[in-house]
């Protein structure tokens, strides 16, 4: 597995397994066990995914040493603020059955972000998380909050795929060696992306499926990717991208697919209120 060194010196596997919208109570457990058996060593969950306990059980039951698995979770908006954030991380650790996570993120960029970040900085110093980062920060939001932080995030996890390559944001992050983690790296399963002639041409050339071409492009372009699936064949296939490389001309063809438009706009009015209303992790 290829790893990427973060700006705090820690290493993160370039391909992780995402569990957003995989139900708890069995499906998440089964999917994570399948992923670990297939060779994944990077699992990405969150308090607001409601499946941290399943992830923790799957990791424990896998028999793989804890130090060999990179685990990410995220603080939800309900727990922003200094004291609440510390309790939020402790709750996640309890559900996961772990003493620490490898990466802990502010899941959304709204509310008392500065004090929540201060709690994450202290949690890192205490060894409860090895690295800390943010998610869903656009260039505008990044410039609003990052100057308030004592330490820089290690990552910014955002929507990113060949149709939405986040070039402006990536240039901004690169100044401080902050890595971009791509959620929905296959574009929500967008058929127009998966069937794009440039991608199908390359899939035929390399004997791969469209998803593998997309993931190879993203990893080769320096991204950390978090594909999600519950299909065992697809789970394994999404990791099988390290025995071939695209040419620079092919990389440029894929870079040219960028439309600059994504599905989620963190700056849209009412987003924070909508998220809080629809995702309540506790009373």
β-pairing verdict for 101-106 and 129-135: parallel
Secondary element (H or E) of residue 11 = strand 11-13
Query: What span, in angstroms and rounded, lies between the C-alpha atoms of 232 and 56?
Result: 20
Q: Which of 116, 121, 104, 113 is nearest to 141 (CA)?
A: 113
What are the residues facing 113 on neighbouring strands? none
Query: What span, in angstroms and rounded, lies between the C-alpha atoms of 181 and 254?
Result: 18
Q: What torsion do the CA atoms of 218, 219, 222, 227 make, to the nearest 10 degrees?
A: 70
Which of the residues 29, 49, 80, 104 is marked catalytic? 49
Q: Is 100 a catalytic residue?
A: no
Query: What span, in angstroms and rounded, lies between the C-alpha atoms of 206 and 132?
Result: 37
Query: What span, in angstroms and rounded, lies between the C-alpha atoms of 139 and 55?
Result: 32
Secondary element (H or E) of residue 9 = none
Number of H helices and E strands in the chain, helices first, is 12, 10
Secondary element (H or E) of residue 275 = helix 271-278
Q: Which of 157, 142, 148, 6 is nearest to 74 (CA)?
A: 157
Q: What is the DSSP string of 106-133?
A: E-SS-SSHHHHHHHHHHHHHTTSEEEEE
Query: What span, in angstroms and rounded, lies between the C-alpha atoms of 282 and 259?
Result: 38
Secondary element (H or E) of residue 190 = none
Three-class DSSP category at 33: helix
- Which residues are catalytically annotated? 49
């Amino acid at each position: 597995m290829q790893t990427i060194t973060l700006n705090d010196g820690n290493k993160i596997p370039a391909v992780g397994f995402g569990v957003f919208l995989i139900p708890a109570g069995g499906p998440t457990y089964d999917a994570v066990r399948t992923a670990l058996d297939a060779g994944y060593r990077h699992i990405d969950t969150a308090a607001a995914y409601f499946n941290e306990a399943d992830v923790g059980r799957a990791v424990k039951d896998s028999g793989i040493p804890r130090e060999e698995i990179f685990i990410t979770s995220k603080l939800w908006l309900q727990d922003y603020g200094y004291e609440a954030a510390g309790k939020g991380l402790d709750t996640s650790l309890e559900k996961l059955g772990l003493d620490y996570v490898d990466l802990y993120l502010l899941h959304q960029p709204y509310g008392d972000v500065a004090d929540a970040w201060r709690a994450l900085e202290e949690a890192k110093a205490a060894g409860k998380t090895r690295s800390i980062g943010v998610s869903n920060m656009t260039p505008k939001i990044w410039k609003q909050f990052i100057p308030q932080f004592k330490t820089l995030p290690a990552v910014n996890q955002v929507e990113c795929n060949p149709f939405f390559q986040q070039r402006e944001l990536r240039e901004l992050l690169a100044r401080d060696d902050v890595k971009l983690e791509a959620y929905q790296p296959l574009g929500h399963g967008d058929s127009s992306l998966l069937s794009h002639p440039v991608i199908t041409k390359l899939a035929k050339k390399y004997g791969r499926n469209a998803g593998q071409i997309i993931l190879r492009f993203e990893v080769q372009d320096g991204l950390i990717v978090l594909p999600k699936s519950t299909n065992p064949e697809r789970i394994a296939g999404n990791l099988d991208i390290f025995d071939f490389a695209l040419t620079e001309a092919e990389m440029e063809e894929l870079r040219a697919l960028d439309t600059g438009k994504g599905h989620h706009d963190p700056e849209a009015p009412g987003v924070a209120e909508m998220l809080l209303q629809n995702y309540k992790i506790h009373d």
